[in-house]
Structure 1
């Protein structure tokens, strides 16, 4: 760690929010040697919106720019290198149904650009070869090729793109699709193994204090005694005093030199505490857990494109172990909700979700709500994979609210913004953006250049092994009342 602090006392950093953004920053700054306190109101870390997909190219989103896709590719590679044990290594199929107005050929130019960008990243640093060979980044299939694959039996451990395509070719209604269909090396993420990695890593950091079940009440600025900026050292920019209720509901406070707002959909609450007016959106979303007993094959992830918010909205099938699948359906009756996208106002930086949606976050779902929306998701998927109609409700939904900085709801690649000398807000939309955001804070505050040697820069995190991460992740599924299948490693093992 290098800084301008002549007395060599490491600066102290408070991170409000223990989601994937906050914990990634806590890992990064703890590994650098800073004194970190992370404040999380929930009982454990990384327990927010449903994270299931590594957006290594952003191919789920046709409406985002090519620039965002390339940013997501680079960020995703960095995420894999920091959190290797969180991956489910299997590809993703992108299909365009006749019910969608898009043309699958429109994906091809962008896929080629992403492929070449991946190749260039590998040429720059061989450690970036985390998505397999760039020659295999994507492959296209016409109808006859899929019909031929449907006649084959999938091996027990598929490794080639053709082998991964077999269950899709067998079970999908090919008559409902336009061609070609693309398969892309975008992998899956286990939010439970992300959470396990974060918690196990931070337990190894003696300079990181994790305060869970702790509710932030207010933030006060403590002005420095020295007024001349030329005389100020790090830590004398003015401190932040955080007042909170601890896990026993006792009033506590502490002071730090720097404050990172990683509060997710409640980022605006902390902005309001410090008087920093910001424009942002918040969107409530849910994904649904299903059990498909008849499934005896290793599935890729499958995306059937469709116009967002309509009855034909995108359908997303995410496979886990033991026939458990997570479903998204981008309709108001499934993943999206009426009045679920809200904006900040002139009075507050914090967008206000309807009470009925906030109640889901704080109190959970009724059995009726769970059953109705999960069955709607199964029905939505079954129009493309008819045999999936046999699937059953497999558990409670994965749900939460997602923040989007600014006013563009299609924004996916975002990172960090600053107010004043020692306040930063993490405004990540996707989990893959978190390490880059932490590195930008390190550069902005401490002039630390971004290191490409991610592994050697995070030795305690890299010392974790997959067996312990998976064991901890299974424990977290039990604590949060989800199927253990969501924590178990699936796909290729490397």
Structure 2
């Protein structure tokens, strides 16, 4: 039985249907349900928040040297707000950015952006001290020359990292220091747990009596009625009868949050849209020989080439998630599709759809995971002793428009009472939710607040969840989805000021 939610907010008669229960759809559902809006969410899977691998908060977008400063600043603000709303989902550890000698990039070219982001973060904290969620603004980043790393390589491995230098010791001990340009950068870019995000969404929506979650439910038809409401027809899988039951629901407003399948609902709703869809995968590996507590490490490289960016993301128990931005590892040949004049839905090849719907062949898991390990061992030679740690984290990512480098995007509106969530990075989900609330208020479908909105105060039920309950449910989800529970465990160490 659901608990009474938000006693200070009255339930509205207004209803919103949200198609898709990924991070965007779930966050929008939470935002509206906490306001007292009646929400129905339709998700094809068995639980909320599946899809492309989420492992990084992107609080500044420093992984992507090709995106604009404006996108980086937007990702910083979005990440801060997201951390305030979902406090138990973050893995607190910094990120190292390294530029190999074979790469055309210059690490010094990163410094103006880092300085700007530090200034923006400092100003945000000055304006509101509760924005101080990614560490001390004065210590947003630190630079390391080769001599600094050589000195750190002789230091003993700390029992627990409490300073920037502690995080750099395992890096200094394991990198071939002659292979890199200097300086290396350590920056307050935190990790994000997709399993604890999923746990938060599932637990909070279950508590909210203004939400109704339909899992194992595939929307097959939407149609706008004469009064501008929306009729939703969906097939719900009945476990007891091993059959699909066709059901219908009617809502006042429709939110399309279908991720890579957003175009399918656009087509049903007769709304044109240009977009890209890209299939990607990250690989779960275990490195028993790892020592100490690793930061995340990004080795820059040209996307789509054999020297593509490599990303090492740490988890407890010696597990690491790997990205290699080559067509043999994270990217895929013919893995990028675009919409057409006749359909807003890009058509991925059937091989990718089969992976999404039915999973991977073990042989391909082994082959691509081994390639990821080999790619990482170019930079961390000892990583060659790592092994496959589980099935890949994978999915298809939508990108609105035709700019493959776009990272900061949230929502668009079309027609009457119709919104599309179009996030590229998970940290943009809250921005999408806020934009929808503002749109509903501007159209007088929801009353406007009497004073300025404090974002964390908009999520009292979500924020009431305990860290223990979130982690426990996240581990349960990891087991249900056949992933190592290490990926759901908390991996957090606060840095001392």
TM-score normalised over the length of structure 2: 0.94
1:452 CA drift (Å): 4.7
1:298/1:491 contact within 8 Å kept: no
Give matches, 1:206-245, under 5 Å: 206-224=209-227, 238-245=228-235
Give matches, 1:115-126, under 5 Å: 115-126=118-129
Question: Which of 138, 144, 149 is 1:146 aligned to?
Answer: 149
Question: Which of 349, 354, 358 is 2:344 aligned to?
Answer: 349
3-state SS of 1:123 partner:
helix
Deviations 1:278-327 (A, max 9, x none): 00000000000000011131000000000000000000000000000000
Partner Cα distance (2:82, 2:147) in 1? 37
Counterpart for residue 431 of structure 1 = 426
Partner Cα distance (2:86, 2:349) in 1? 35
Counterpart for residue 398 of structure 1 = 393
Counterpart for residue 301 of structure 1 = 296
Partner Cα distance (1:454, 1:221) in 2? 32
Question: Which of 359, 383, 386 is 1:388 aligned to?
Answer: 383
Partner Cα distance (1:488, 1:253) in 2? 39
2:12/2:36 contact within 8 Å kept: no
1:451 CA drift (Å): 5.3
Partner Cα distance (2:127, 2:305) in 1? 43
Quickly say closer, same or farther: Cα 1:8–1:132, change in 2 above 3 A: closer
1:451/1:457 contact within 8 Å kept: no
Partner Cα distance (1:124, 1:287) in 2? 38
Residues 1:333 and 2:328 are matched in the alignment: yes
Counterpart for residue 413 of structure 2 = 418
Partner Cα distance (2:110, 2:179) in 1? 18
Partner Cα distance (1:319, 1:458) in 2? 29
1:14 CA drift (Å): 0.3
3-state SS of 2:79 partner:
helix
* Larger displacement relative to structure 2 (443-452 or 381-390): 443-452
Partner Cα distance (2:172, 2:470) in 1? 34
* Larger displacement relative to structure 2 (338-347 or 443-452): 443-452
Quickly say closer, same or farther: Cα 1:342–1:451, change in 2 above 3 A: farther
Counterpart for residue 48 of structure 1 = 51
Partner Cα distance (1:277, 1:346) in 2? 8
3-state SS of 1:349 partner:
coil
3-state SS of 1:289 partner:
strand
Counterpart for residue 476 of structure 2 = 475
Partner Cα distance (1:8, 1:187) in 2? 36
3-state SS of 1:353 partner:
coil
Counterpart for residue 227 of structure 1 = none
1:420 CA drift (Å): 2.1
2:15/2:37 contact within 8 Å kept: yes
Give matches, 1:266-285, under 5 Å: 266-285=261-280
Deviations 1:56-112 (A, max 9, x none): 000000110000000000000011111110110000000000111000000000000
1:477/1:486 contact within 8 Å kept: yes
1:96/1:103 contact within 8 Å kept: yes
Partner Cα distance (1:451, 1:349) in 2? 37
Partner Cα distance (2:402, 2:30) in 1? 30
3-state SS of 1:250 partner:
strand
Gaps of 5+ in 2: 1-9, 239-243, 443-447
Partner Cα distance (2:494, 2:44) in 1? 35
1:454 CA drift (Å): 2.1
Question: Which of 97, 101, 104 is 1:101 aligned to?
Answer: 104
1:418/1:425 contact within 8 Å kept: yes
1:491 CA drift (Å): 2.5
Residues 1:161 and 2:168 are matched in the alignment: no
Partner Cα distance (2:116, 2:237) in 1? 50
3-state SS of 1:178 partner:
strand
Partner Cα distance (2:216, 2:68) in 1? 39
Partner Cα distance (1:333, 1:69) in 2? 28
Residues 1:455 and 2:456 are matched in the alignment: yes
User: Considering only aligned residues, what root-mean-square deviation do their CA atoms show, in Å?
Assistant: 1.3
3-state SS of 2:316 partner:
coil
Counterpart for residue 178 of structure 1 = 181
1:363 CA drift (Å): 1.1
1:159 CA drift (Å): 1.6
Moved over 3 A (4+): 447-452
Partner Cα distance (1:326, 1:379) in 2? 13
Partner Cα distance (1:201, 1:281) in 2? 32
Partner Cα distance (1:156, 1:223) in 2? 66
Partner Cα distance (1:99, 1:208) in 2? 53
2:93/2:494 contact within 8 Å kept: no
1:455 CA drift (Å): 2.2
Counterpart for residue 490 of structure 1 = 491
Give matches, 1:248-327, under 5 Å: 248=238, 249-327=244-322
